[in-house]
Structure 1
Amino acid sequence: IMLDLHCDDEGLAYLYIHTSLWPHMADCAAAMGIDAVLLWSEDSSGTFEGASIMPYQNVPASVARFDRRVATTVEYRGMLDVDSGLAASDAGGLYRLLVTRGVIQDPSVPKASSFSGAVVPLENIEMMPSPKAGAILYDVKPGDRVNKGDRLATIVHAPGEAGGRTEVFAPQSGFILTRRSRRIIRAGEDLLKLAGDERSADARSGTLED
């Protein structure tokens, strides 16, 4: 079991999982109470998670044993999501994972079964770079469902001037996975991650961010 624990700016709780481990790891996502799973297939940047699972891609199934392996990057919501309630809930989720996978024997803890969250190919993620530098006025928050053409945010780049505000719209339908915590941004920096219903026109492989 390899868990690389992180958090995003503001976001849902989600996992990065290699396609060879899905749906084998659905029980893990359910045990941890995760909101969404991002499935990836290529690792061009040498991530910790990739280094843990890629060596098993070209070995016999009897050696790979993907049904027994757990390797994932865990994004525990946002940097400001720090309180005793979330800490207890997340710790309980990690404990359920260990019970579910047989690392710990504890009859008092039911093993997780089905995962009811969203499962999204990495190629469906829209990173939404800002067209201007300025202050951000968001219309959406993590977890919100949006339709193609919905306004996601307004960038105020020349306050009080005509044409000093630029609106950003959803390129496709989906839900908001994360958004930026700071409300000021440079041109080209990512405003948010939109988990789309379809493949992104700007689909990328490997990691979403450096």
Structure 2
Amino acid sequence: MARELDYHAIREIFDRFRASNPAPKSELCYTNPYTLLVAVVLSAQATDAGVNRATEALFRVADSAQKMVDLGLEALTGHVRTIGLFRQKAKNVIRLSEILVAEHGGEVPKSRAALQALPGVGRKTANVVLNVCWHYPAQAVDTHIFRVANRTGIAPGRDVLMVERAIEDRVPVDFQDYAHHWLILHGRYTCKARKPACPACLIRDLCLYEDKTL
């Protein structure tokens, strides 16, 4: 059975996260819900920094669904060719933009089901958009969050959906809005996969990970 932290330890962890970074933000660059949606779709199996480099010029000419449709697949592909899987991602962005124009008046829907019905949009992408744009307490679990949640004992689970549910159930409600931001940043910069920076970790004394680095 996975080891779990108790309520008081989890609250203390998130108190420390909040004290260190009161209002964390996505590291993807965007200007509105549409550009965030596109950026997250492009970020699958790619770094945020790489996506930001590609979208800097793209979003100057196509920051809405209609403008992206008008830009067209060939031009879009030219903008994103430095990103992994760029051909399929470009096709998805054009198609989802067409659907947004045809079925949603060009606006990004505020429904997880409607978002997941768009090409290239899975549950994680939908949760990012819902959380970042409208502060819905949705938990977008990526590899960093999955690792941190299991290592620390905050929200252990065998798969990403179990971890998502565990975060929703175990993290106090007053931390839910920023929970996935704190966890992803902790996994990205401190609790790294190959060599976690345990000596510099602000929750080292509470974490249940047994193989802490010295």
TM-score with structure 2 length normalisation? 0.28
Structure with greater strand percent? 1
TM-score with structure 1 length normalisation? 0.28
Structure with greater helix percent? 2
Give the number of the structure with larger relative contact order, counting CA–CA contacts within 8 Å between residues 6 or more apart.
1
